[in-house]
Homo-oligomer: A and B are copies of this chain.
Amino acid sequence: MKTFTLEQITQITGGMLTKAKDVSITKIAPPLLADENTLALALGEDEIANLSNTKAQAALVPLGVNIDGFTTIEVERPRLAMMKLITMFYEEPMVNKGIHPTATVAQSAKIGENVSIGPNAVVSENAVIGSNTRILANCYIGNGAVVGTNCFFHPNVNIGDRVQVGNDVILHHGVSLGADGFSFVTENPNNIEQARKDGEIRENDVSQVIFKIPSIGSVVIGNNVEIGANTCIDRGTIENTIVGDNTKIDDLVMIGHNCRIGKGCMIVSQVGIAGSCVIGDRVVIAGQAGLADHISIGDDTIIAAQAGVSKSFPAKSIVVGSPAMPRKEFIKQLKIMKDAGDLISKFKKYEPLLKTFEESVNDSDVAGVVK
């Protein structure tokens, strides 16, 4: 069991210890789940209030929170301190050493030092696995795929042929890298092509064949990338689909063929990015937002949850709504909607007056009279 003094924790978190006390901290937890050797984490208002009912003898709190007679470590940036604390207490998951006897590793595969390959995992012909990488049960690494060093693949990750994964990459349950792009073509224009051109759908050649455009590109994932459970990143048509270093992707995200995602992006759950989009660096895309194909998003842009992005936006945009627009415009639209209700009532009030005037004008000539 890891044990720390309050002084040690204060030093690690860069905080300020008030009302020092001699406690051995063996755990961190919210106030109501704490015992006497827990450091209670009270970062928000609710949890600070819960300190009156905690069994903990000390708490981590935001700077300036003062609780009568209670030992606290005040920190300027609570989430950062929490990260440091959790990292202190975190224990690496147990994985088998070496290649599990039930794993299938091709003779032509190159396996680095200190690699762990779990039960029933498959490493195909000519694949390369970097040193210290851990591949858990039921993962599949395709032919010629290249995985860097110090990666952690949770069970049941699927890596297609020739996909390249950088160093220090974390992939969660069921991630799919390198399924084929969704790309087809017909001999003659199909409904979508017609609708784009004419705005409507004409007689259709009902028997025309849909040809698959094979994906001969691949997927390239940078260093320090994390990808959430059951997320799918499809391979490119003739180029690669690319995810830049330090980008973090949540669960159930879809990234289409040929996309180029920049560095340090945050892509939240259930986001869908259609084919051939170019996303800058440090872009944030909130949950369930969708991007149409062939869109460019500039660096540092934020796209709000459920936004439907149908055109490109420059760097440092804040983009909201479906169809998506700059946040200021969206707020204006909400205001218009709000004002429209009042307006309709007012207009209805004045309408009989206007009607009377109109009739008067038709009868005589009001403008003339009042002049």
Contact = CB atoms under 8 A, between A and B. Distances in A.
Contacts of A164: none
Interface stretch (A51-59, A109-117, A198-206): A198-206
B341 A332 contact: yes
Interface string A1-42: 000000000000000000000000000111001000000010
Given A104-B137, A204-B300, A230 B270 contact: no
A4 B260 CA distance: 30
Given A86-B213, A120-B122, A363 B353 contact: no
B232 A232 contact: no
A135 B143 CA distance: 15
B343 A344 contact: yes
A174 B172 contact: no
B185 A176 contact: no
Given A176-B173, A237-B86, A251-B179, A371 B367 contact: no
Given A185-B79, A302-B201, A336-B340, A41 B158 contact: no
B290 A306 contact: yes
A104 B121 CA distance: 12
A119 B102 CA distance: 10
Contact of A122 (B138, B211, B359): B138
A158 B158 contact: no
A360 B354 contact: no
A241 interface: no
Interface residues of A, number: 136
Interface in A334-358: 336-337, 339-341, 343-344, 346-347, 350-351, 353-354, 356-358
A322 B350 contact: no
Interface in A232-265: 232, 234, 237-239, 246, 248, 250-252, 254, 256, 264
A234 B252 CA distance: 12
A79 B301 CA distance: 32
Contacts of A224: 210
A229 interface: yes
B90 A216 contact: yes
Given A230-B176, A237-B86, A266 B184 contact: yes
B290 A182 contact: no
Nearest to A38: B238
A251 B182 contact: yes
Interface in A298-353: 299-302, 305-306, 308, 310, 316, 318, 322, 327, 332-333, 336-337, 339-341, 343-344, 346-347, 350-351, 353
Given A158-B173, A308-B305, A179 B122 contact: no
Given A239-B30, A346-B347, A360-B367, A174 B158 contact: yes
A176 to B, nearest CB: 4
A214 interface: yes
Contacts of A186: 80
Contact of A344 (B119, B161, B336): B336
Given A230-B252, A356-B361, 17 more contacts: A80-B185, A82-B238, A83-B214, A93-B161, A102-B102, A140-B173, A173-B232, A176-B229, A182-B250, A182-B251, A191-B300, A192-B266, A201-B316, A272-B288, A305-B308, A350-B354, A356-B366
